[in-house]
Structure 1
């Protein structure tokens, strides 16, 4: 629907996501003059607050989480905010919420961040109050279920009120600059695309490593685990962007059509192609930290680490393994994609050559590095000396004078303006869950229990063996 909303309704406005990401993103956009002056932002949550009290709450969040140089005009932004308390489990408060929202002149954008159990009653409340009628689109923050069945239930509930072209399923990784730059790297440069296939690429690695433990997500994380929390959404979206065919255009339908083809081509994980782990006490960044069971306060079989060897069974990628790993309390915080090219077919040099490697850093640093073989300076009387040399592009250096934006800035703008390109379609979500459910069923049938690993390490030794038995070393 081609309208720019003049009302934005934020559910879960007192939650951690709103404080850390949503309110800072909106304030930063406003400081850059990117929010229409007519846009009104209505916030809702369970807490009883007046408009003034919520503005004070929002001010504290902005001062804590938004850099000072991006807070220009913060007072004007805070004046945009209005607040309405709501218990989403009952229909009673939705009429008052609708009155607070008022009648949009152009349209309403809704950002829904809530527990999976509240999706259905919230949608019913929106329908009951008329907030799902007319020019209205809705953004859905994960988790969208715990398996394929529950995901379908949530999607069915949302679809009862909103058509697919008004549903924006959010994966915040797709809002990151370097993730979007992966599309530019592949499809705006003739250098890579002719080589982007099984003939020239030996394997791909995707790593999402965290140094933190449970923090404030104790109950959610113990129910979800690393496979459902990170692999099902973020990592499979990264894999799809790496492996997708060139779309016909940079258009929401064209891009998402190609991603879903990749997800449907994923081969079921076989025996010995997955490793799970759970961290124990150790040292991270020089600080002694407790184990998962100590943080949780009880024993648990929930995995905090997963390593997988995946395959995309299509013509382009036949035989190319995609190694994925993610975990908490690992050695360092890093999200990166590593594309390892094949060895040259014949070397004319006595010196050893190393395959070219493309490393796309997503966080904490956004950069692209391409390793090439080069001659070591010298007279080389006994033959050329060679060594791998990285060509680095640090994104902040390449584009000086630009802000490092929060991923949600792009996603919130696209929600307000109606661009679905960086959002996830229902068939993508269901293809992801179908593959993940297959892994979990295999773990259950094999009675697989997480292996322990020390905090501050790179996970269980079995994860190293998963790659090394193919002659592959994880990039570290």
Structure 2
């Protein structure tokens, strides 16, 4: 049979390549059709991320009808569990708010395989389970296919598509997606085992890895080189869940779909940009992991830099993943490495709150008594290009602070030759609140109604909870897992992006470690180290305001 390039039912080209014995295989388009046979494997299925985020996200995607009928999710972990034990002890506590009928339908697609992360025989058992599930899935798809043909549910183009022709054998593609919800020390061993024993030969293979992507530039390159030995470049999806948050998703729309902002979006009108990430909680039992990485690697080097790149990038030629990534990389390449005089690091200490002692960082049983790992970091980055030269980008992140807050605060220049000398005229600000209470608002100066000339700061605000149904705002993991299934790479990080992110922070991380810089102590539930006020003052920055009424 001779096959040629033609259009698929999804409007994308399907190409074919010749192999031995005149056997032809398909070079598939990236998108996954609901009529395909799909397996999602979550490694680390008994862990916190899997049960709190990944399985609930898959349930929502399933309920919304994105996964078709021949799919399954296989949990893989070292815990010796049955499928029912996984459901009862790990999944139901986080899904019990949903309808039982929907849950029962979802759980029919859930399987479990216990195994180690470095034993080939365990991954061979996983592969055997996947094959068994795929055979059952093909029976379901074949029955659906026959029913469609009998009832003439297919269009003429679909009937004569090589994948759906009545005279051709029905062989749906087998896609396998692997999500590594694992500690960093087993990333490579697990990926290597998957690559050797579990990859599909007739469909897509995709592997998703969570941060941290190494501890520095060297370990990042080692991780990337190891992954590239067993998975192709287009098969590796590096996830930063912050990019999937609804407000962050809106950044490009806000910038490039509104003509009013582009003339203002530069050094001529913008005085400073602050990107803030504050948490009220401490390490809360995660001290073992956190002490190896710290707040800079955990938040600043990834979440905050990604937001900065979206704010500072030039308009892409198109919204394709490649074009968006190219513009982000240009911004990252133009950022100077952080200097010691432009960074403040801190570490929270214990405090008595409402008569109870709250442990400090070093008092946590999983943290070394002499640890110098920062739980707080604030730094100023400088983007050396024509649009942003001279505008300080202030990045702040920390744990055990006085509020939970993630926002972008863009402060505009002061009004030249101010006519209202009798009043304090505050600079205009555009604030993009990521969490909590998602919102976008402008701080402007208004006249207070009355016979006098009193001025006050007012807000033009748009809050998500007043305009949209909060229940319809998707979780970041719902969006990103669906993007991965659909082959949309625009919300995932490329190797080049991460390389330039590390080049910005790698020198200061090594300098802090080599000089044994002691983080400045700050009380639990405070605003952070005192030194940050001096850093702000040096660059003319104003601390973020708590607009809790939004």
Shift of 1:287: 6.3
Equivalent residue number for residue 376 of structure 1: 448
1:312-323 equivalences in 2 (<5 Å): 312-323=383-394
Alignment partner of 1:34 is 2:63:
no
Alignment partner of 2:335 out of 266, 270, 291: 266
- 1:57-95 CA distance string (max 9 Å, x none): 34334247xxx2587711111121001112111212111
- Three-state SS of the structure 2 residue aligned to 1:354 is coil
Structure 1 CA distance for aligned equivalents of residues 409 and 348 of structure 2: 25
Alignment partner of 1:329 is 2:358:
no
Rate the CA distance shift 1:53–1:361 in 2: closer, same or farther, 3 A. Answer: same
Alignment partner of 1:174 is 2:240:
no
Alignment partner of 1:405 out of 474, 479, 485: 474
Alignment partner of 1:199 is 2:271:
no
- Three-state SS of the structure 1 residue aligned to 2:362 is helix
Contact 2:343 / 2:378 at 8 angstroms: preserved in 1? yes
Alignment partner of 1:51 is 2:79:
no
> Over the residues paired in the alignment, what is the CA RMSD in angstroms?
1.9
Between structure 1 and structure 2, the one with the greater Rg is 2
- 1:74-123 CA distance string (max 9 Å, x none): 11111210011121112121111011112484312211122222122212
1:52-451 equivalences in 2 (<5 Å): 52-63=84-95, 68=97, 73-102=102-131, 103=134, 105-106=172-173, 107-131=175-199, 133=201, 134-282=203-351, 288-295=357-364, 296=367, 298-350=369-421, 351-380=423-452, 384-400=453-469, 402-444=471-513, 446-451=515-520
User: In terms of mean alpha carbon deviation, does 393-402 or 352-361 score higher?
Assistant: 393-402
- 1:245-301 CA distance string (max 9 Å, x none): 111111111111111111111112224100110000125699641111111362211
Shift of 1:241: 1.0
Rate the CA distance shift 1:409–1:344 in 2: closer, same or farther, 3 A. Answer: same
Equivalent residue number for residue 18 of structure 1: 50
Q: Given the two structures, how large is their TM-score scaled by the length of structure 2?
A: 0.82
Contact 2:340 / 2:508 at 8 angstroms: preserved in 1? no
Shift of 1:197: 0.6
Rate the CA distance shift 1:283–1:32 in 2: closer, same or farther, 3 A. Answer: farther
Equivalent residue number for residue 150 of structure 2: none
Shift of 1:209: 0.5
Q: Given the two structures, how large is their TM-score scaled by the length of structure 1?
A: 0.94
- 1:305-354 CA distance string (max 9 Å, x none): 10101111111110000111111100011111100011122223333321
- 1:360-405 CA distance string (max 9 Å, x none): 111122111111111110123xxx3221111111112212375232
Contact 2:192 / 2:227 at 8 angstroms: preserved in 1? no
- 1:428-455 CA distance string (max 9 Å, x none): 1111112111111332454421010001
Shift of 1:135: 1.6
Contact 1:244 / 1:261 at 8 angstroms: preserved in 2? yes
- Three-state SS of the structure 2 residue aligned to 1:194 is helix
Shift of 1:7: 1.5
Contact 1:211 / 1:332 at 8 angstroms: preserved in 2? yes
Structure 2 CA distance for aligned equivalents of residues 468 and 70 of structure 1: 54
Equivalent residue number for residue 455 of structure 1: 524
- Three-state SS of the structure 2 residue aligned to 1:468 is helix
Structure 1 CA distance for aligned equivalents of residues 382 and 99 of structure 2: 43
- Three-state SS of the structure 2 residue aligned to 1:222 is helix
- Three-state SS of the structure 1 residue aligned to 2:108 is helix
Contact 2:346 / 2:521 at 8 angstroms: preserved in 1? yes
Rate the CA distance shift 1:286–1:60 in 2: closer, same or farther, 3 A. Answer: farther
Contact 2:277 / 2:398 at 8 angstroms: preserved in 1? yes
Contiguous gaps of at least 5 residues in structure 2 = 1-28, 138-171, 546-550
Contact 1:48 / 1:85 at 8 angstroms: preserved in 2? yes
User: In terms of mean alpha carbon deviation, does 2-11 or 92-101 score higher?
Assistant: 2-11
Shift of 1:415: 1.0
- Three-state SS of the structure 1 residue aligned to 2:60 is helix
Aligned residues: 470
Contiguous gaps of at least 5 residues in structure 1 = none
Equivalent residue number for residue 143 of structure 2: none
- Three-state SS of the structure 2 residue aligned to 1:475 is coil
Identify which of structures 1 and 2 has the higher relative contact order when contacts are C-alpha pairs closer than 8 Å and 6+ apart: 1
